[in-house]
């Protein structure tokens, strides 16, 4: 059995659900650590890829509401991939995500990422139309609808990214 470690960053506007997605995914695991000095929370979770291979995901979640403005370089350094999180009930967070993705790619190059349209349980308040999403998918983006509240597609999203970064 071999284990590799991969650093994954949570990217997205304040309050889109980055922290909630990580805690939904790692719940029932034991590691949980706060690097308050650098404003980053780090969780880890072991994922079995197959009978011979594990991947230990080191999940970096930025604290506070500065998005990527101040800590970009140190936060992203060494990342194998990232989850780009949008709050589906707030259209501006979609535009932010597109900008953030460009900023991240400029910083660390083209790494695997998945866009998560979070808060899928709040479908009555949804502000993203299908055409918008499909146009982005047509550019080759993987986009999943998640709910940290119900757990919908959360595990699947992290596993998908784990496969992509291997």
- The answer to whether 118 contacts ligand GDP (rule: CB under 6 A) is yes
Cα distances (angstroms) measured from residue 126 to each of 36, 97, 111, 131, 151: 34, 16, 29, 14, 18
Q: Is 66 left (phi over 0), alpha (psi -120 to 50) or beta?
A: alpha
Kindly tell me which residue out of 49, 103, 122, 159 binds ligand GDP, with binding defined by CB under 6 A: 122
- Per CB under 6 A, the segment of 27-35, 52-60, 92-100, 147-155 that binds ligand GDP is 147-155
Helix, strand, coil content of the chain in percent (nearest 5) = 35, 30, 35
Size of the site for ligand GDP (CB under 6 A): 15
Residue nearest to ligand GDP (CB): 17
Q: Which C-beta is closer to ligand GDP: that of 43 or that of 55?
A: 43
Q: Would you tell me which residues interact with ligand GDP (CB under 6 A)? A: 12, 14-20, 118-119, 121-122, 147-149
């Amino acid at each position: 059995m071999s284990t590799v470690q991969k650093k994954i960053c949570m990217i997205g506007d304040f309050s889109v659900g980055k922290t909630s997605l990580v805690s939904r995914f790692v719940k029932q695991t034991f590691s949980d650590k706060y690097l308050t000095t650098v404003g980053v929370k780090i969780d880890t979770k072991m994922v079995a890829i197959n009978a011979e291979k594990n991947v230990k995901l080191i999940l970096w979640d930025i604290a506070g509401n500065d998005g990527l403005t101040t800590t970009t370089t140190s936060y992203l350094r060494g990342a194998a991939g990232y989850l780009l999180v949008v709050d589906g009930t707030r259209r501006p967070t979609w535009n932010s995500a597109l900008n953030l993705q460009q900023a991240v790619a400029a910083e660390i190059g083209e790494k695997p990422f998945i866009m998560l349209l979070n808060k899928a349980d709040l479908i009555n308040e949804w502000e993203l139309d299908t055409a918008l999403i499909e146009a982005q998918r047509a550019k080759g983006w993987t986009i999943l609808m998640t709910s940290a509240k119900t757990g919908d597609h959360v595990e699947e999203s992290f596993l998908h990214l784990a496969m992509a970064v291997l």
